[in-house]
Structure 1
Amino acid sequence: MSRSKRVTIADIAREAGVSPGAVSFALNGRPGVSEETRQRILEIADRHSWQPSSTARALVGAKAGVIGLAVNRPARTLGTEAFFTELIAGAQSSLATRRIGLQLVVVPTIEDEISTYRRWSSANQVDGVIMLDPRDDDPRLPVLRDVQLPAVVIGSAPPAGDDDGTVAVWLDDAEAAHTVFDYVAGLGHRRVAYVSGPAVFQHTRIRADVLEGLAARGVDGETIATDFSPAEASAAARKLLSRTERPSAIVFDNDVMCIAGLRVAQEMGIAVPGALSLASFDDSVVAGLVHPSITALTRDTFELGVRSAELLLARLDSADAPRDRQGPRPTLSVRESTSRPGA
């Protein structure tokens, strides 16, 4: 086969001794060919570095072979969060078995995220999307339904009872919040601050509500919203620790924010955990390497990515696929950064 021209499905079919339709089934991960034939076709396609024509694909309405992930986070801080690295790795490991790619776009606002979904749909660039950080009355969901772009939402609860087409891999954020805040309260802390991400996110509201509910146990809770960046986490920690009556415990939304808060405490000469306990809702290798090591909620984020991709692929294959799947349940890793007040 000449390498001077673009390799087509017809070329692969001739070399494999099958019909172009069989090649299409194999390359798109659809049933209709035996596994032995599928593997032979995939090996030929790999050998010739075959790539689908996006123009032809859009004209015939064929699958793109790509899943989209638009992340609304400050681009400078995205690389510091182990959560995204592990989530993407898990999703990609699942997609790779079907020869499906993952397209990642970092967007500065939710409006840009919505524009990205519309562009992906109109150009047939992705077959579906994984959506993060759901909000109450989320404006993205009606748009995804309008442009008929299948989506799996990584959220805080299973989809509502009415069948609005929402599919979710859900994490019980109320349970997670109780795991952390109940432990801190159980140590005897009565002034507890929560340094969160943006207040519009569902998980932020749920965690803040759980902390507020601990007032019945004599806990004075306060939530300070940030953009997840270490700079804003540091500023929030400095503000809290400069008060006459400062909190005896601070819980941060992720480990990088918590480490930023730890540095502020060290800068101000406040002993951790003797005078201040710190904890995080996200864990990573780094949280266990700093001194003192960080008490954190540990979950298998790689597996979360796997389950999200698997559920989306199942939904793309069949409308009868499950509407939701529970994500990995977290456990609390107690380390050196927490103790009883004044211990």
Structure 2
Amino acid sequence: MDSSTNSTRPASRVTIADVAREAGVSKGLVSFALNDRPGVAPETRSRILRVAGALGWTPSLRARSLSSKRSFALGLVMARDPEVLGSDPFFTSFLAGVETILAPQGLALVLSVVPDETTELQTYRTLVADGRVDGVFLTDLRHDDPRIPCLAELALPAVTLGRPDQASPFPAVCIDDTHGVAETVRHLADLGHTRIAHVAGSSGMLHGSRRRTAFTEAMRDAGLDDGQVVETDFSISAGADATRRLLEAPLPPTAIVFANDPMAIAGIGVAQELGVRVPEDVSITGFDDIEFARYVYPALTTVGATPLVWGRAAAATLLALIRTGRSDDVELPAARLIIRGSASAPAPS
């Protein structure tokens, strides 16, 4: 026998029969466990997965797709400017949370960034027609969102990030962001601020208009006027422009509440450029608590929205819906104010 031939021959692939024999169960049960199908006791599924891992079993995605008629991929379609997405670490953290659930199970995430709503709806139809995803995450919810009836018509499983303002057949993963906005305004009012402005996100998005409403209501609850509101597209450049307009006004605010951290950090930079001290002359707060927020100077007072946790919860909820046909809504802990150095009592006038 030619030993050199043997040395180059690939080792035989570990099969589900090998896993079944080692685990002491049937091949059918191994198939159910490895393909995430119901009907397997949790402890049995765990034992089968441990044995498969020890043997070095790896799935044949092509075979799994053909046998189960699943793509083993989830989708995320976003109609946003790529520059805005690239500059907002919230989405990076959210996607990291999703991947912590998908990657260990050999599942993929299909991400599409599209220019407008029409293209977005067509992208969903194409994904379904091509069988590329088993379900999708629905972000940046809008008023009377047309994506919800579209996905219902396509019978594509989905999870919404936040609760829609319309009837929806899909589970929602929610976090009460209004609580954090109200806490921020109360904190600033307690410090003695009366001229408080809000640099808001797009009113076309539910979370943008919701935070704006929460700001106005909190101002009234504090016995103040509604305050000045500047609407933006959530981008860094728009946040910087809004800050400049507010601080160059004849009677500038002594505090600015931003709808996200990147805009707030840009606001700190603009203030320093204009010779306006933070927080002595103007207090600045953000929303999301991105990692960079604690390292700017002064460190940013902000609201913690835990995007990594949100991503994990959304992925787990969507997978449960795909596997069992149902999944309950998930209420994450309310966003809370995190006090750091960028907000203080206003300087005496």
Alignment of 1:143-162 (within 5 A): 143-155=150-162, 157=163
Question: How far apart are 1:94 and its partner, in Å?
Answer: 1.7
Structure 1 residue matching 2:253: 3-state secondary structure: coil
Segments of structure 2 that go 5 or more residues without pairing to the other structure are 1-7
Alpha-carbon separation, structure 1, partners of 2:114 and 2:56: 34
Structure 1 residue matching 2:87: 3-state secondary structure: coil
- 1:331 maps to which of 320, 329, 336: 336
Alignment of 1:42-53 (within 5 A): 50-52=60-62
Alpha-carbon separation, structure 1, partners of 2:209 and 2:187: 19
Structure 1 residue matching 2:228: 3-state secondary structure: strand
Q: Which amino acid counterpart does residue 68 of structure 1 have in structure 2? A: G
- 1:142 maps to which of 145, 149, 152: 149
Question: How far apart are 1:158 and its partner, in Å?
Answer: 7.6
Report the counterpart of residue 114 of structure 1 in structure 2. Answer: 121
Report the counterpart of residue 232 of structure 2 in structure 1. Answer: 226
Alpha-carbon separation, structure 2, partners of 1:53 and 1:227: 44
Q: Which amino acid counterpart does residue 190 of structure 2 have in structure 1? A: G
Structure 1 residue matching 2:227: 3-state secondary structure: strand
- 2:75 maps to which of 68, 80, 91: 68
Deviations 1:248-277 (A, max 9, x none): 111112211111111111111111111111
Q: Which amino acid counterpart does residue 145 of structure 1 have in structure 2? A: A
Is the 8 Å Cα contact of residues 81 and 256 (structure 1) preserved in structure 2? yes
Judged with a 3 Å threshold, the aligned counterparts in structure 2 of structure 1 residues 85 and 328 are, in CA distance, closer, same or farther, namely farther
Percent of pairs identical after alignment? Answer: 34
Q: Is 1:211 paired with 2:221? A: no
Question: How far apart are 1:107 and its partner, in Å?
Answer: 2.2
Alpha-carbon separation, structure 2, partners of 1:26 and 1:44: 15
Alpha-carbon separation, structure 2, partners of 1:96 and 1:284: 23
Which structure would you say has the larger Rg?
2
Alpha-carbon separation, structure 2, partners of 1:209 and 1:148: 34
Alignment of 1:165-184 (within 5 A): 165-184=169-188
Q: Is 1:195 paired with 2:199? A: yes
- 1:129 maps to which of 127, 136, 140: 136
Question: How far apart are 1:296 and its partner, in Å?
Answer: 0.5
Alpha-carbon separation, structure 2, partners of 1:260 and 1:196: 14
Q: Which amino acid counterpart does residue 87 of structure 1 have in structure 2? A: F
Structure 1 residue matching 2:256: 3-state secondary structure: strand
Question: How far apart are 1:74 and its partner, in Å?
Answer: 2.0
Structure 2 residue matching 1:153: 3-state secondary structure: strand
TM-score by length of 1: 0.85
Is the 8 Å Cα contact of residues 304 and 328 (structure 1) preserved in structure 2? no
Q: 4+ runs of 1 displaced by more than 6 Å?
A: 17-20, 42-45
Alpha-carbon separation, structure 2, partners of 1:252 and 1:13: 54
Report the counterpart of residue 319 of structure 1 in structure 2. Answer: 325
Segments of structure 1 that go 5 or more residues without pairing to the other structure are none
Q: How many residues align?
A: 330
Q: Calculate the aligned-residue CA RMSD, in Å.
A: 2.9
